[in-house]
A and B are shown apart, each in its own frame.
Chain A
Amino acid sequence: MAELKNWYLVCYDIRCPKRWRKAYKLLEGYGERVQYSIFRCWLSQRMREKLRWELERVLTKEDDLILIRLSQQCVKDLPKYNRPNTWLLDEKGFRVM
């Protein structure tokens, strides 16, 4: 099927700094950090499962991980009840530097 993409919040609580660093670096490759231990990622289902699989290899049982998919409506409403510039969207598809 055509690949739909969604915003995901990836939140984690990792008990050991070594694993935390690994997970943190991994997530930097997928999206941007919103707050400590919260990332936002724009993912297709394929990428989401890949990320989950890669994270699962880093984390152990005692760590916590939660992925939250935001619907289109959620993302649209975000600016209404947040401080300005909390969730900036930049969907140009290119960057000139």
Chain B
Amino acid sequence: MQSIDLAQDTLTEAFPNTLRVCALHAFAYCPRLFYLEEVEELYTQDAAVFAGRQLHEKIEQQEDEEWLDLYLEDEILGLRGRVDALRTRDGQTIPYEHKRGRCYRDDNKPQAWDSDKLQILAYCCLLEAALGIVVSEGRIRYHADNVLIRVPLDEQGRQWVKDSIQQAKQLRKSAYRPPVTSNEHLCTRCSLSSVCLPEEARLAHNKEWHPLRLFPQDDEREVLHILEPGTRVGRTGEQLKISRRDQADEKVSVGQVSQVVLHSFAQISTQAVHFLAYKDVGIHFVSGGGCYIGSVDTRVGSIQRRIRQYQALSQSDFCLELARKLVNCRGEGQRKFLMRGKQKSKSDKVELEQAIAQMKAVLKQVPQVQSLESLLGIEGNLAALYFGVLSQLLAPDTPDLLKFSGRNRRPPKDRFNALLSFGYSLLIKDVMNAILTVGLEPALGFYHQPRTQAPPLALDLMEIFRVPLVDLIVVTSINRNQWDVDADFEVRGQQVWLSDRGRRKFISIYEQRKSESWKHPVTGYSLTYRRLLELEVRLLEKEWSGEGGLFGQLIVR
């Protein structure tokens, strides 16, 4: 798939005149890192960042002699930054830079890494410009192997700094995210690797590539589901306090929480909302009947990503191609799921086999489809075939009340549909969480058309996960006899809902399914469904960033 051309002037310039010296360091390390941090405002501090800060703190405490911590800015040069240390040696002012790691060795001769060299030279130039003095050299201390390296400032160095500032500023104005660096060693140590996904980008360009997994395997933080009406979620210190009627308060460390889901009318204090937003914890609302209501949207930066999304998804050809992938992915998933059911049952299932064969024929048409409307028709056919035989996957001894005779919703009219509907609400909540985490716009999709109610991009992405995360658990839980037809459901005339007990049960089955790991068919590494949701959104974003081809390949086996 082609990447999207963006006109230079679509992005209005809102950058300060000067560049941080550490941004220049990032630029020398990897232009893409610079772009992600400076333009897309993605910062994920990794262990090394904090360890580095601590080193600086320690040096400050140990230092007995004069210590100057200087914040400098010079508009003409176009730099700003804080010098680690400034010392006077033989009448010369010399900036020092402290690094936690090792130096670079060439023939065992210690040298500075290029990016560090540029950084210290930039500090030298900044000092000269801001204080009006002459600086002859800068020094870098590498603490891991305790090496001090002197970097003399000469004309060549000055020119290097100037050129780099120019190039970096140019890149800052650009709407293009630079490609992944060719040196993959840089990526394994990079703090942004889980956002930039360099290995996946390499795979997109070279199908033979065996990606290392730089994307975290799992998110082990908890999802808190607050079910009981009248429960209050508040903040105390660095903890969430959950107060329930007639029960002792429960406290949860914020570090252990990834989402708070408020079902029905559980209360949350404004303090808690602020706190969770600050800690990047998702807040979602689901109605008492099990409808997804909405989420707290705390995306601030990331507008570049959305502009690219708008540009890409306003091209109808591009949307159509993504939609084809999506319909194919969902249809194949449904078909594979039916085939799996066929293998399990010993008895003849003629209808099932027919439906599987018909679905195969319908799926063959997908690549030729020329409009979204006909694609919708095909998806309708697939769904009709699929739901027409889904009940065949249920065990013969399933109680009549749990049997399935066709999909209906708003409101669901039988127990099976009640289970599906509630499952899809939980799913769309998780998909929304992933979209908001990545910083995309949920209201602009490529398949579902913009409407006022549900966010189309979330509906689009949800298609991929319907079978593995919802349909599958509904069928298996029924076959395992996990449902009580009376106590787990509430029947009000035509409408059927899950009762409080039923919802608790469903949530635990669903969350357990999400924690199962799965080997991704394209990237070849395994990760949990919890993480997979986010990975899939990031892979979608790659479709319009020139690194496409990995999206929509998740098919159950």
- A residues apposed to B, CB below 8 Å: 1-3, 5, 25-32, 41-42, 44-50, 52-53, 56-57, 61, 91-97
Contacts and interface: CB of A to CB of B under 8 A. Distances in A.
The 6 closest A-B pairs by CB, nearest first: A29-B238, A49-B50, A94-B511, A49-B47, A53-B50, A25-B237
Interface string B34-61: 0000000000011111110110010001
A41 B54 CA distance: 20
Contact of A49 (B51, B188, B222, B507): B51
Contacts of A53: 50-51, 53-54, 57
A49 B48 contact: yes
A97 B217 contact: no
Contacts of A42: 220, 256
A25 to B, nearest CB: 4
A26 to B, nearest CB: 6
A97 B255 contact: no
Given A28-B237, A94-B224, A97-B227, 10 more contacts: A3-B217, A27-B238, A29-B254, A31-B256, A32-B253, A48-B47, A49-B46, A96-B225, A97-B224, A97-B225
A96 B504 contact: yes
Secondary structure dominating the interface of B: mixed
A97 to B, nearest CB: 5
A1 B188 contact: yes
A26 B515 CA distance: 28
Given A28-B253, A96-B507, A97-B242, A50 B57 contact: no
21 contacts: A1-B214, A25-B237, A26-B238, A29-B238, A30-B238, A31-B255, A48-B47, A49-B49, A49-B50, A49-B51, A50-B45, A52-B54, A91-B220, A93-B223, A93-B515, A93-B530, A94-B508, A96-B508, A97-B226, A97-B228, A97-B242
A46 B45 contact: yes
Contact of A3 (B54, B216, B255): B216
B238 A5 contact: no
A5 B220 contact: yes
A85 to B, nearest CB: 17
Contacts of B220: 5, 42, 91, 93
B413 interface: no
A97 B238 contact: no
Nearest to A90: B222
Contacts of B46: 46, 49
B217 A30 contact: no
B213 interface: yes
A28 B239 contact: yes
B54 A56 contact: yes
A47 to B, nearest CB: 7
From B54, B239, B244, B507, name the one whose CB has the most chain A CB atoms within 10 angstroms: B54
B214 A2 contact: yes
Nearest to A43: B255
Secondary structure dominating the interface of A: mixed
A96 B255 contact: no
Nearest to B263: A96
Nearest to A30: B255
A45 B220 CA distance: 14
Contacts of A47: 255
A95 B50 contact: no
A50 B514 CA distance: 28
Contacts of A25: 237-238
Contacts of A56: 54, 57
A27 B253 CA distance: 9
A29 B253 contact: yes
B386 interface: no
Contact of B61 (A29, A50, A61, A96): A61
B266 to A, nearest CB: 9
Contacts of A95: 222-225, 252
B317 interface: no
Interface string B501-522: 0001001100110110000000
B231 interface: yes
A57 to B, nearest CB: 7
B145 interface: no
Contacts of B225: 94-97
Interface in B475-531: 504, 507-508, 511-512, 514-515, 530
Interface in B154-194: 188
Given A32-B253, A57-B57, A94 B228 contact: no
Nearest to B257: A95
A31 B214 CA distance: 26
Contacts of B49: 49
B529 to A, nearest CB: 11
Interface in B209-261: 213-217, 220-228, 231, 237-239, 242, 244, 250-256
Given A2-B215, A50-B45, A53-B53, A97 B256 contact: no
A49 B448 CA distance: 43
A96 to B, nearest CB: 5
A27 B239 CA distance: 10
Nearest to B225: A96
A51 B186 CA distance: 25
A31 to B, nearest CB: 6
B51 A31 contact: no
Contacts of A94: 222-225, 507-508, 511
Contacts of A1: 188, 214
Contacts of B511: 92-94
